[in-house]
Amino acid sequence: MDAEAAKLLGAGLAAIGAGIAALGVGNVFSAFLEGALRNPGAADGQQGRLFIGFAAAELLGLLAFVIAMILVFVA
Amino acid sequence: MAESGKIDPMHQFAIEPLFGTDHWSLGGFNIAFTNSALYMVLAAVVLWIFVIGGMKRELVPGRWQMAVEYMTGFIKNLLIANIGDKGRKYIPYVFSLFMFILLANLLGLLPLGLIGMHPFTFTSHFTATGVLAIMSFSIVLIVGFWKHGFHFFSLFVPHGTPIAMVVPLFFIELVSFMVRPFSLGLRLFVAMTAGHVLLKVLAGFVINSANASPALGLTVGTASFILMIGISALEMLVAVIQAYVFALLTSVYLNDAENLH
């Protein structure tokens, strides 16, 4: 396979990671809402943890984007 | 069919000297005043005006003072929730960090292209966000070693660890600790870069489809333009969330330094 084609294919494959991270972020918020609707009184106190979970899940999707950018523009 | 020009979505991140040339160097580094530096100065000046306007210390606060007090109160609550009462002394640092990043993200989203300027988001460069992350990480290290001395290393071995697990756990925790400045800076930089690239790619769709034929311009171009409006709203949300996440994670890391485990 041509090296340039392999790079672009790799960048495309990295986009799968972004999609899977979307599942993770959705999971974080769905679990938070599920808990928050059962006990709305405790919901506000957990917003910090919500965003820590969101940030951790989102970071992996962003790393997939970084890999795609490195493959397209740097490698 | 009209020739469609290739629209480079990465060109918006190019750093260009506004005045000064390559010959302005200090110790081998170019110190020309760039568009990145201009937007850093703008963010700092807007932050300065915002805070100065709210420092009248009236007993019955006006709107502006309420706005400033709301933001400082927000950061104060964040720090007290994460660190406890000892977190109060970090309010100035975390407030400046949060507002600086927030204003940088929002100033970069302003539609200044309509009047011929080129808005620039300096948080879309790892050099800028990396330095902010290193600042936070240095404060964590300095506070941790200042307050706890070499006892700070107990951060890497949680209480009740079985003896056999101490060595592997130490290295795992060490790696997860050392990776923090990278993940902190990388998150902000990639989130801003990705959003801006997406907007420019969609803008390219609008221009290229309208150039190709009126029918394509009406179908693809209109759909892309409506999507761009939605994505712009999402970008404003991302700008606020990323600034908040940066401040939140800084306060979580400061909690480790202040209270150990």
Residue B166 above 90 pLDDT?
no
- Write the CATH number for A68: 1.20.20.10
Residue B9 above 80 pLDDT?
no
B chain contacts of residue A73, beta-carbon cutoff 8 Å: 10
- pLDDT on residue B118: 82
Residue B66 above 50 pLDDT?
yes
Tell me whether residues B186 and A63 touch, CB distance under 8 A: yes
- pLDDT on residue B42: 92
List, for residues B20-62, the tens digit of each pLDDT value: 666 677 777 777 788 888 899 999 999 999 999 888 888 888 8
**Which residues, numbered 34 to 53 in chain A, qualify as contacts with chain B under a Cβ-Cβ cut-off of 8 Å?**
45, 48, 51-52
List, for residues B190-221, the tens digit of each pLDDT value: 999 988 988 888 888 888 888 888 888 889 89
Tell me whether residues B190 and A48 touch, CB distance under 8 A: no
List, for residues A11-52, the tens digit of each pLDDT value: 999 989 989 999 999 999 999 999 999 999 988 888 888 998
- pLDDT on residue A2: 87
Tell me whether residues B190 and A54 touch, CB distance under 8 A: no
Of B82, B186, B190, the CB nearest to A48: B82
Tell me whether residues A73 and B78 touch, CB distance under 8 A: no
Q: Which of B179, B245, B249, B254 to mutate to test the interface with A (most CBs of A within 10 A)?
A: B245
A chain contacts of residue B252, beta-carbon cutoff 8 Å: 48, 52
Tell me whether residues B245 and A51 touch, CB distance under 8 A: yes
- pLDDT on residue B11: 79
* Residue closest to B251 by CA, chosen among B72, B77, B78, B70: B78
| Structural domain boundaries enclosing A15 | 3-73
Report how many domains make up chain A.
Answer: 1
Rounded CA-CA distance B176/A75 in Å is: 27
